[in-house]
């Protein structure tokens, strides 16, 4: 996996998802999906009813999670908008794992 990551590079992206995304296990499902894809980062509820966080990992995998955040989410969620910002290539992962922050 390390060799693959060197070829395609690592990406870091911040995200914020709006809609019915709190109280629907959105963070838990996001963490599960990120781990399944081998990504690191974090997810957190905000005080204004959105969920935000950061994703880091191989570019193609990050794109998969972005798509998931845009369209799928947790079973009970209703996503109205997913915004991505601060996208940049990184040389090393800045997180050990994918965490749910309180």
Concatenate the DSSP letters of all residues of 84-100 into one string.
EEEEEEESS-S-SSEEE
Left (φ > 0), alpha (ψ -120 to 50) or beta: where does 34 sit? alpha
| Residues designated as active site | 27, 45
H or E element that contains 57 = strand 51-58
Query: DSSP 3-state assignment of 7?
Result: helix
35 close to 102: Cβ distance less than 8 angstroms: no
């Amino acid at each position: 996996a390390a060799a693959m990551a060197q070829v395609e590079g690592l990406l870091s992206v911040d995200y914020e998802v709006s809609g019915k995304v709190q109280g629907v296990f959105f963070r838990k499902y996001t963490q599960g999906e990120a781990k399944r894809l081998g990504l690191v980062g974090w997810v957190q509820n905000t005080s204004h009813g959105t969920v935000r966080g950061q994703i880091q990992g191989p570019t193609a995998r990050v794109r998969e999670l972005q798509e998931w955040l845009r369209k799928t989410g947790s079973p009970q969620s209703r996503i109205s908008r997913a915004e991505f910002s601060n996208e940049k290539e990184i040389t090393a992962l800045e997180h050990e794992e994918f965490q749910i922050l309180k």
